[in-house]
Amino acid sequence: MEMIQFHPTLLGTPTNNYGLISEAVRGEGGILKNAQGVRFMDDYHPLGSLAPRDITSRAIFEQHQQCYIDIRQVRGFKQRFPGIYQQAQRYCSDDYSQGYLPVTVGAHYTMGGIKTDLAGRTNLPHFYCIGEASNTNFHGANRLASNSLLEAIVMGQHCAAVINQQPSRPLVDPQPSLVQIPKISEAVLKPLQAESEAILGIERHGACMTGYLTRLHQALEQAEHITLTQLTPTLWQRYVRVKMLEIICEAALHRTESRGAHYRLDKPKMQTALQQIDIEIVKGEDMHAQHIKRTRENQTVLPGR
């Protein structure tokens, strides 16, 4: 859960953004520049504006100023990217008239969470997961849009086939009175959410995450507990948000390296020994995180192979 990708080019500013600018714009000749007109990506990667998403996101983040894509070399922009053109005309027509699109970095997708096989099966019966909420090792530490499309098509088909082969199971009456969760108030949630981007965002640091994790634990431990019969959608969402931040922070602390979308200022190097290690949250009497080493097996999704 520590692998959270940030998309480097949302149209707009850090406080107001209006959708994604496809990486195809840079592929067709768009150049990233800062407010001074400097092609800063050349200092970060040999591919310049075509660098991987995590490197591009960090580079834009580290500019500490508004950045842009210079689209003057993109032929037929209006015809080739009609959706982006319409958004640019609506929200930043002055910049567009000069041949620039203002860009900012934004949280995008995760690269795995729930462990599954290639058919979406988990270790719980009748519980399946496909797509970017699953952990199939299909993405690695950097998500690709092309991989996501393939995963949705292939794993979705496999998952449907497996489910359709399962016998019907008897319905079980739930017992919500036996389950209790913390009742998180808005006053507790808001500051924790406000801190999350700086602490669990593009750049992370172990000391900052340690203190933040303590505050998350305190929020969950000190809250009044309620049963599911007392639950409302708002209370459930508050609890889930705090719990998700806790899980991400636990995982990010235990991955003591930088890899793809997970970048730690205090652990900037990639550790070869950690390449085949998943960070898994295990819930027993206490919540804790541990390293689980899993051999990556070569698998095929092609029939008859």
List the catalytic residues.
53
Strand 134-135 to 114-115 pairing = parallel
At CB < 8 A and 24+ separation, what contacts does 127-135 make? 128/159, 128/162, 128/163, 130/155, 130/156, 130/159, 131/155, 131/156, 135/278
Q: Decide: 259 and 270 in contact? Cβ < 8 Å.
A: yes
The secondary structure of residue 259, as a DSSP letter, is B
In the chain, what's the furthest Cα-to-Cα distance? 66
| All residues at 6 or more sequence positions from 250 whose CB lies less than 8 Å from its CB, including other chains | 213, 279, 281, 287, 288, 289
Q: How far apart, in whole angstroms, are the C-alpha atoms of residue 10 and residue 107?
A: 10
